[in-house]
Amino acid sequence: MGKERYFPETKLFMGPWYRRSAYFESTVRAGCQYYDVYNHTLLPGYYNDPNEEYQWLLDSVVVWDVGAEWTVEVSGPDADTLIDRITCRDLTKCAVKQGKYMLVTAPDGGIVNDPVLLHVDKDTWWMQCADSDAGLYALGVATAAGYDVSVKDAHAYPMQVQGPHSAKTLEKLVGKAIYDIKYYWTERFDIKGIPVVISRTGFTALPGFEVNCLGQEHGDDLWNAVLEAGEEFGIHVAAPSMARRIEAGMMNYGSDMTIENNPFELMGLERLVEEQPQDYIGKDALERIRKQGVSRKLVGIEFESGPFDIDPSDFWPALKDGKVVGKVTDAVWSPALNKNIGYVWVPIELAEAGVELGVDSQHGWLKGRTAAIPFVDPRKQVPAASLSASA
């Protein structure tokens, strides 16, 4: 046990086939040291100590380049029909300027992608996609059905402005109207002559926004404008915080879930399979799964160990009574909870909080215990004691 599985540090050859966000040059100047490839796009992965960046996020305001959330625009007379056809969410009452956390579903109920969906205009929707080719999937469905619809890149480039002073930062650029944007709603503004769409979204479980730059050529100017506005609030450039994402119970497509998983297998996502009269791709399969139940579940896990110095470079086998029963998909040090937390796939009979597991990791043999998701309270404001800790 404890066999080391570690991929040595390598360098990425940045060829022209990798897309770059509107803020790429800005992130280079800000000192980004490592990039990931996400949606065929270079995504900043590391600037400084993640624990230090975590504290900036909690105390002030941070800017993330999340332009790798490539935005697919679905527009035209049949746009509403196509969007509602490819998800288990009922979007018939999703108003213009409203958004939803969306699950794009396959015929067998599998999850194709989990984008943030924004209904930006009449007959126009944006899917801000996780790492997959969900746009091609939507185009294929539209083509096969003969829908009168356009599916293309929106040329909208999001940056996240997150933290307790995010609204004050953006108020200096767009005025007090920033406070009128409800959670998961959008509004259009101009920032120093640059057209933007701002949504009150993000994956920090803190106050925050995504500012979508409409035109790659404006990215550097918009980035600098936000940094200047946030200077008095201690604004910092940072990488997306995996610790805050996991504390809030937010999953990462490609590691925590894939097309082989359905929403009923992921703790907290069952609610997104909404009962509705209209048909959608995967409806029959998902309604059957709703009745029959599932054999496995993705749940939280807490570890009895000191802080991890590096994140998992591969899935970690999870064992019960010496037998491999699942795998850890994510693990990270939570400064707020003062422990390592993550996600683990387990058989349904082991999905209750408080089940002890052994984990064969790159850090050696670890003791873990299943936990409820999210790791923060329902209001997503402060860390809450896990069910396993209170048992």
Report the SS3 class of residue 357.
Answer: strand
Per-residue pLDDT tens digits for 272-285: 999 999 999 999 99
pLDDT of 9 reads 62
Q: Where do runs of H (alpha helix) occur along the chain? A: 24-29, 50-59, 79-85, 134-145, 166-174, 219-229, 242-247, 283-292, 387-390
Q: Say what the pLDDT of residue 8 is.
A: 53
CA distances from 53 to 61, 171, 190 (A): 10, 23, 29
- How far is residue 95 from each of residues 39, 105, 122, 148, 161, measured CA to CA in Å? 28, 22, 9, 21, 24
377 band by pLDDT with thresholds 50, 70 and 90 = low
User: Comparing 144-148, 160-164, 363-367, which segment has the lowest mean pLDDT?
Assistant: 363-367
The rounded radius of gyration (Å) of the Cα atoms in the chain is: 21
Count of C-beta atoms within a 10 Å radius of residue 49: 9
User: What is the reported pLDDT for 5?
Assistant: 45
pLDDT at 300 over 50: yes
pLDDT on residue 15: 82
Q: Domains, the chain, ranges and CATH?
A: 24-67+155-241 (3.30.1360.120), 71-153 (3.30.70.1400), 245-390 (3.30.1360.120)
The answer, yes or no, to whether residue 378 has pLDDT greater than 70, is no
Residue 293 has pLDDT above 90, yes or no: yes
What integer pLDDT is reported at residue 284 of this predicted model? 98
Quick: pLDDT tens for 216-252: 999 999 999 999 999 999 999 999 999 999 999 999 9
SS3 192: coil
Alpha-carbon distance 16 to 167, whole Å? 36
**Per-residue confidence (pLDDT) for residue 25, from 0 to 100:** 96
Q: State the pairing for strand pair 34-38/41-46.
A: antiparallel
Lowest mean pLDDT among 15-19, 42-46, 70-74, 126-130: 15-19
Rounded Cα–Cα distance for residues 288 and 176 (Å) = 48
Look at phi and psi of residue 219 and say left if phi exceeds 0, alpha if psi is from -120 to 50, else beta.
alpha
Q: Which is nearest to 241 in space by CA: 163, 155, 176?
A: 163
What separation in angstroms does the CA of 294 have from each of 105, 178, 263, 350? Answer: 17, 42, 10, 12
Q: What is the mean pLDDT of residues 106-130?
A: 97
Least confident of 57-66, 102-111, 239-248, 377-386: 377-386
Percent of the chain with pLDDT over 90: 84
The dihedral sign for the CA sequence 11, 155, 244, 198: positive
Q: Residue 381 CB: number of other CB atoms within 10 A?
A: 11
Segment 122-136 mean pLDDT: 95
Stretch 114-136: mean pLDDT, rounded?
96
- Six-digit token pair at 264? 């009923």
2 pLDDT above the threshold of 60? no
Using the predicted structure, report yes or no on whether residue 30 has a pLDDT greater than 50.
yes
- Say what the pLDDT of residue 308 is: 81
Amino acid 163 reads G
Residue 262: pLDDT band by 50, 70, 90 thresholds? very high
**Number of C-alpha atoms within 13 angstroms, CB side, residue 259?**
12
Q: Which two tokens stand for residue 152?
A: 């293309």
Tell me the per-residue pLDDT of 48-89, one tens digit each, with 9 for 90 and over: 899 999 999 999 999 999 999 999 999 999 999 999 999 999
Give me the pLDDT at residue 319, please.
98
pLDDT band at 387 (very low <50, low <70, confident <90, very high): very low
